Amino acid sequence: MVLVVALALAAGCTSTSSSRYRRPQMTPEELRSYYDYPQKPIQPEVRDKERNARWQHQFVEFEMQLPPDLDGEAVKRYREQAAAARKKRALSISFEYTVRFDYYRPTGPGPHPLVVISPVLGGRTIIEDSLCRHFASHGFCALLVHRKRPSIRPEEGLAKVEADLRKSVLRVRQALDWALQQPEVAPERIASFGVSYGAIINTIVAGAEPRIRCHVFALGGGDLPNIIMSSAEPLIRSQAARIAQAQGWSREQLREELERTVKSDPLNSAPLLDPDNVLMVVAQFDAVVGTQYEHLLWRRLGKPRRIVVPLGHTTTALALPFIKAEALAFLQGKFGIQPKDSVWPTDLQFHSSKRY
């Protein structure tokens, strides 16, 4: 477990005064400029994975276009390390300059809406696979943008955390560039779906990416420095302590350095989004991201429609069938799609939007 994972797995058990909650770190113009990148032709490698009666699954990979301040000596070293490493290690290292994603396209006639999915942590889990198949089976193209499971050494410092966040946003935007070149994708019907760290990334993307119209943010939160600092996860606390020790920082100095260095934050994007086009899922007993930070993001988003499940962060997986059905219905409604069948009973009560 490493500090950057705290952005996805930080526990919110320690109360934080609302006076300490973060304000946006960028203006809208600064935000869009910060996540901009050179526009160059995409040269993808596309591999067929599987096919059934409802959808076709492909894997796509291409070089990430990096802004000049990210495309420096560090990327050169990563390329050299990848060239010298064994295959599995090389694939992990090359994530630093590569865009990779799974793409599901329905077999029926298009054009189809597209949902851009960011993974919980990185790597592959049954949650992301389930989401892709769910949406593809109901006529959506699905784009699962991969990240490696993040790692950071104490000597790399907090700048690596910020660089990884920024690259995660660039990957999503450039994967979308490719998808919008596909004739089966309806460019006016683009949505995003993210869970936990994936929701954090997709919320940041939302402020920089006007092509994505609607969003489902599940178990995401805002105010990343305080999420990290209030973590009750022992391994995250240990990693934070190692970085502080390596740099000679006190706990308060670590907080100050996080606030100074980590510019990327969902709270930057929140004021820019239309709450009518957002659906949030909040876990009432979240000891991972922290319920208080989920509600903070909800308030900053303008109090969009909110599903509150009476579960913890990981146990919310028990409600995944319900969440998938609610997300599908939400996006179908926004895109004017008539549901072909009922995918979940409508009389469950744990989705009411309880106030805190």
CATH number, residue 46: 3.40.50.1820
Asked, for residue 342, whether it belongs to a domain, the answer is no
| pLDDT the model gives residue 234 | 60
**How much is the pLDDT for 338?**
87
Burial 222-248 (b: 16+ CB within 10 A, else e): bbbbbbbbbbebeebbebbeebbeeee
Q: Based on the structure, what is the number of domains in the chain?
A: 1
Is 119 domain-assigned? yes
Q: What is the pLDDT of residue 235?
A: 58
Cis-peptide into 310, omega within 30 deg: no
Q: Are 228 and 6 in contact (CB under 8 A)?
A: yes
123 three-state secondary structure: coil
Phi, psi of 146 (to 5 degrees): -85, 150
Tell whether 219 is covered by a domain: yes
Residue ranges making up the domain that contains 178:
3-331
In a domain, 23, yes or no: yes
What is the Cα–Cα distance from 284 to 294, expressed in whole angstroms?
Answer: 10
Please say whether the beta carbons of 55 and 104 come within 8 A.
yes
| 8 Å CB contact between 280 and 294 | yes
Given a cut of 70, the residues of the chain with pLDDT beneath it are 1-19, 122-124, 150-152, 231-237, 341-356
Is 93 within the bounds of a domain? yes
354 inside domain = no
52 belongs to a structural domain: yes
∠ Cα 248 241 289 (to 5°)? 135
pLDDT score for 124: 61
Does a structural domain hold residue 355? no
**What is the model's pLDDT at position 302?**
98
The pLDDT value given to residue 122: 63
